[in-house]
Amino acid sequence: MAWTTPGTRYCGPSGTDPPPRRKAPTPLNSIRVRLGVLGLALLTGFTTPTAASAAPAAPSPTVEEQRLGRAAPQEILRRSGFDTVAPRLARALEAARTHGEARRAVTREGARLWQRAVDRAQGRGPAGGDLSRDDDRPLYWARLGMTREVRTWEPEFGLTDGQRAALLDELERSSRGQDAIRYPHGTGLKRILLTGFDPFTLDRDIRISNPSGATALALDGTVIETADGPARIETAVFPVRWQDFTEGTVERALRPYLPKVDLFTTVSQGRVGRFDIERTNGAWRGGFGDNDNIGRTGTVPVSDPATQPQWTTTTLPYAAIVAADTGRFPVYDNTSVTEIPAGATEPVVRPDGPTPGSTARAGGGGDYLSNEIAYRATLLRDRLGLRGTLPGGHVHTPVLQFGAGNTTEVTDAEFVRNRLDIIAQVRAILRVAAEGS
């Protein structure tokens, strides 16, 4: 794995020819010269920043942001009308005269992007182009354009590393719907929280979409009718980056809402041709590269590691979900895990779940970030004392596949149909889960 170290720039004086020699000054002229030099020195001291006080140079774009220049992302942005998003933010930043103004601009434009993506997915407002409305990729690539603008921005008033990090954090939260979760007040309405993910494995295929992110856009703010009455769904999307999870993005986003909802599910893309309700989640990172091509291997880092369990379990009504007719893809209750048994040193697969005292090496959902968001969300549920009262867990969708023979086009009819069917089936699964809880 190659690490990219952000470059720095040094600006020194430009070279010039020496001035022509002049006559020696008279005494009066000498006084004037010395006063002039002193005045210039004082003026220079007041107007030229020292190296120690200069703002750090802006970092280079990340590996994830660097993919923006490729043809497929540009086509996706152009065919959805989202190619105007990053330039709009760039203009807002250019107009900012203080860090506070910049922060307000970033928050406003991030929230605008999230709402625009939700509106587009749900048929409101202009489509902006011929790309299917259910597509999650315009949101993903437009956000990366925005983060690249903030990351490489060098305002005249200067930014500290901490200030730039705060701007990026605000942009991530606002453009992912994480700070836009709103439920109506009152009784008689169930509350459901669902999370999705960005596209990933983009070096394998830059065209990839993530049906969990598309589902989040399609269902945000919608109401489903259940046998027990209406249920309001609120959603958010998370990055495919280990570092964000290490820094607690999942817990920060979900903690305010888990005590208030009636059901939650984290959703991600899983196996070909099937849904899985993951029974068990493991406290292990397997090291697969994320969207910045960075891998992490080791125990999932959480607060209070002394009380950290190796395993957490779903409280979704998995039996009812599996038994219901929710759509064209089969749905499985996946109980398999990989563990190191107590007293052993080598990992083994356990089809029926972990054994007492074992050490996690993969949950039912594997050892990547889908398993980790499920582990973190269900551990948070348990630490909040909600295990016995709050149904929650992880749903893996089928892999979203392009039509047969399509290896170059960014979309096709079968690709769109597959995504729409997955979205519809997740909605049906939520209905069953809400009725069975």
pLDDT of residue 265: 98
pLDDT of residue 56: 81
Backbone φ and ψ of 291, nearest 5°: -70, -10
pLDDT of residue 166: 98
Q: What is the CA radius of gyration of the chain?
A: 27
Whether the Cβ atoms of residue 80 and residue 131 lie closer than 8 Å to each other: yes
Rounded to whole angstroms, the Cα distance separating 193 from 416 reads: 25
Rounded to whole angstroms, the Cα distance separating 162 from 353 reads: 44
Q: Give the β-pairing of 190-197 and 229-238.
A: parallel
pLDDT of residue 114: 98
pLDDT of 314 above 80: yes
Backbone φ and ψ of 8, nearest 5°: -120, 160
pLDDT of residue 54: 58
Rounded to whole angstroms, the Cα distance separating 350 from 334 reads: 11
pLDDT of residue 20: 38
State pLDDT tens for residues 84-124: 999 999 999 999 999 999 999 999 999 999 999 999 999 99
Share of the chain above pLDDT 90, in %: 85
Backbone φ and ψ of 268, nearest 5°: -150, 170
Share of the chain above pLDDT 70, in %: 87
Rounded to whole angstroms, the Cα distance separating 372 from 369 reads: 5
Tell me if residue 428 falls in helix, strand or coil: helix
pLDDT of residue 57: 80
Domain assignments of the chain as residue spans, ordered by start: 63-175, 190-435
Going by C-alpha positions, the residue among 305, 318, 405 that lies closest to residue 364 is 318
Rounded to whole angstroms, the Cα distance separating 341 from 348 reads: 8
Residue by residue, DSSP assigns 238-291 as E-S-HHHHHTTHHHHHHTTTGGG-SEEEEEEE-STT-EEEE-EEESEEE----T
What is the mean pLDDT of the segment spanning 137-158? 98
pLDDT of residue 55: 67
Residue by residue, DSSP assigns 361-422 as EEBTTBSSHHHHHHHHHHHHHHHTT-TTT--EEEEEEPP--PPTT-SS-S--HHHHHHHHHH
Q: What residue type is 311 in one-letter code?
A: W
pLDDT of 16 above 90: no
Whether the Cβ atoms of residue 261 and residue 191 lie closer than 8 Å to each other: yes
Joined together, the tokens standing for residue 370 give: 């889908």
One of 3.40.720.10, 3.40.605.10, 3.40.630.20, 2.60.40.10 is the CATH number of 190-435, namely 3.40.630.20
pLDDT of 81 above 60: yes
- The H or E element spanning position 434 is helix 413-435
Going by C-alpha positions, the residue among 139, 111, 376, 156 that lies closest to residue 251 is 376
Q: Provide the 10 A C-beta neighbour count for residue 230.
A: 12
The DSSP secondary-structure symbol of 30 reads: H
Rounded to whole angstroms, the Cα distance separating 231 from 51 reads: 58
State pLDDT tens for residues 349-395: 999 999 999 999 999 999 999 999 999 999 999 999 999 999 999 99
Question: Positive or negative, the Cα torsion across 271, 274, 275, 278?
Answer: negative
This prediction has a pTM of 0.87
Q: What residue type is 202 in one-letter code?
A: L
What is the mean pLDDT of the segment spanning 220-240? 97
50 pLDDT band, cuts 50/70/90, is very low
What is the mean pLDDT of the segment spanning 391-407? 98
58 pLDDT band, cuts 50/70/90, is confident
pLDDT of 324 above 50: yes
pLDDT of residue 437: 82
pLDDT of 316 above 50: yes
pLDDT of 199 above 60: yes
Residue by residue, DSSP assigns 276-338 as EEE-EEESEEE----TTS---EEEPP-SSGGG--SEEE--S-HHHHHHS--SSS-EEEE--EE
pLDDT of residue 355: 98
Rounded to whole angstroms, the Cα distance separating 382 from 388 reads: 8
CA distances from 153 to 36, 52, 296, 315 (A): 38, 20, 29, 45
Which of 16-20, 203-207, 274-278, 354-358 has the weakest average pLDDT? 16-20
Backbone φ and ψ of 153, nearest 5°: -70, 135
pLDDT averaged over every residue in the chain: 90
pLDDT of residue 44: 37
Whether the Cβ atoms of residue 437 and residue 263 lie closer than 8 Å to each other: yes
